[in-house]
Structure 1
């Protein structure tokens, strides 16, 4: 069964006359007759009865007419939708994400992108931030989210916000700091972090500032696991302030007073893709979601 056969069937039914239907369809009357006959053979039922003034629908034809009209309407809608897609930006956008999706506002950003650009093939890949940065640098990702300082000249960065971090420790260790001396933190065990984790660099930076070199226990690079290890009494760790405050209010850990570090959360992408159409729509939508008045682009 073909669309053109259904179109002929509906037109003949509406006109009630083969000749008038043929004129509207820009076909010969024998061609219209042949299409109706082929359709009747396929459905196995007569669809029209000939009369002195033309043709009328049989009961089977009356039953099938609304369905045929619905199919033709759907076909027209398909063509209209396809025409609307013409000229839409299309391509693959592989985005590396790290940290919690809510912190990155991934849901809002991705939803807005997919609604506005239906031909955009958006692919989100979870990873640690150092890995995300390296994959962006090597063009294995179109863009990604990175925490810390971007050392590469061939990678551009858009500053999204500065996230505060604090040092968290098990509640049972509350009295192990001698008179609040921060250098005493070097005598306590810390949870080790993977070298590929941004938390490793951030923690090392803090240790240099405090002039300490503590003993490391265990190792992980996942935020949920890190906070679980602290609450379980294994060691100290650098945590996002919002996470630490929530756990502290629940009595699950303590926050070391006097230490609060700000680290930049950035959107990174290859510098040579600055003018790429896909990159521009990613950046423009990101600016909307993060409400950045004048985004500062750092890089080459």
Structure 2
């Protein structure tokens, strides 16, 4: 049984800090919910709750305030937030350096959106598996928001997403290829025809579009269509089917609707072409390119995704 001690006026149990406990705390803060944090961390909700409680016991302080709609950090939680992020980042880096030598090997975790996994990244994964048999590549389906949180926390090594412009200060990025968007609607009798009178009731956006990094594109669409609302859906298929049935106008990467446009299931809206350029991007933590496996992934992405 851990003994209690007093340090600087706070009671500590003597338990050692566990990076998994810090990851659970950071996940709950970033997601605003223990349940959503569990989904991001791929563990159960009780596991996240127990890890946070263990962290609070080890520090002798309440770190989260439980609210009816989720959680938020207490004053003490705020005070350790950035230090906790740094510990998790450094811990992940130590593990990766221990796994890797001068040749690409060890485990590397890559996150990506639905559209990129289905249309851009499968040849990359095949290339990596065949060329680097000692490298364990894990590919996770994630929304850009989830992927960026996990990248910053050290749970992912690289993220592929569709974005526009530069990345944040703590991240580096490269544009791999242009990834234009299309506005599409259905041809079904009785469906609304945006651009020919009545504006659409909704703009349907797939969750793999990063709102923060594509804000100009969304503003452009809203100005063009003057729709009543914008709905974000987890599934590209759902966006296409709702657009096809006339519920709204879908905003999707062109590559995901090419077959639907060719088959006549969907049509372009008023020949709209985005003025804001968007790209398939690779993002990683600033200063991490010394990791051999990450360097191999980025080099392969430049060779395979850019020309695929």
Q: Same fold (TM over 0.5)?
A: yes
Q: Give the C-alpha shift of residue 112 in structure 1.
A: 2.3
The yes-or-no answer on 1:254 pairing with 2:270 is no
Q: Give the C-alpha shift of residue 281 in structure 1.
A: 1.5
Q: Distance in 1 between matches of 2:302 and 2:209?
A: 24
Does structure 1 conserve the Cα–Cα contact (< 8 Å) formed by 2:159 and 2:282? yes
Instruction: State the match for 1:206 in structure 2.
Output: 220
Q: Deviations over 1:109-139 (max 9, x none)?
A: 2222222322211111001123222322332
Instruction: State the match for 2:162 in structure 1.
Output: 147
Quickly say closer, same or farther: Cα 1:189–1:283, change in 2 above 3 A. Answer: same
Q: Deviations over 1:207-259 (max 9, x none)?
A: 3543x542237641321111111112211111222443422332322211231
Q: Distance in 2 between matches of 1:193 and 1:228?
A: 12
Does structure 2 conserve the Cα–Cα contact (< 8 Å) formed by 1:142 and 1:270? yes
Does structure 2 conserve the Cα–Cα contact (< 8 Å) formed by 1:244 and 1:255? no
Query: 2:186 is matched with which residue: 166, 170, 183?
Result: 170
The yes-or-no answer on 1:157 pairing with 2:168 is no
Instruction: State the match for 2:292 in structure 1.
Output: 277
Quickly say closer, same or farther: Cα 1:128–1:115, change in 2 above 3 A. Answer: same
Q: Distance in 2 between matches of 1:273 and 1:132?
A: 17
Q: Distance in 2 between matches of 1:244 and 1:258?
A: 15
Please state whether the residue corresponding to 1:198 is helix, strand or coil: coil
Quickly say closer, same or farther: Cα 1:90–1:247, change in 2 above 3 A. Answer: closer
Query: 1:129 is matched with which residue: 144, 151, 173?
Result: 144
Q: Distance in 1 between matches of 2:162 and 2:130?
A: 28
Q: Distance in 1 between matches of 2:221 and 2:122?
A: 35
The yes-or-no answer on 1:228 pairing with 2:241 is yes
Quickly say closer, same or farther: Cα 1:256–1:277, change in 2 above 3 A. Answer: same
Does structure 2 conserve the Cα–Cα contact (< 8 Å) formed by 1:148 and 1:263? yes
Count of equivalent residues: 199
Does structure 2 conserve the Cα–Cα contact (< 8 Å) formed by 1:130 and 1:198? no
Taking structure 2 as the reference length, the TM-score comes to 0.56
Q: Distance in 2 between matches of 1:163 and 1:94?
A: 23
Taking structure 1 as the reference length, the TM-score comes to 0.57
1:3-18 alignment, distance < 5 Å? none
Query: 2:201 is matched with which residue: 185, 189, 200?
Result: 189
The yes-or-no answer on 1:288 pairing with 2:303 is yes
Does structure 2 conserve the Cα–Cα contact (< 8 Å) formed by 1:217 and 1:234? no
Give the alignment's Cα RMSD to 1 decimal: 2.9
Does structure 1 conserve the Cα–Cα contact (< 8 Å) formed by 2:111 and 2:141? yes
Unaligned runs of 5+ in 1: 1-85, 293-300
Quickly say closer, same or farther: Cα 1:92–1:219, change in 2 above 3 A. Answer: same
Q: Deviations over 1:72-92 (max 9, x none)?
A: xxxxxxxxxxxxxx9743321
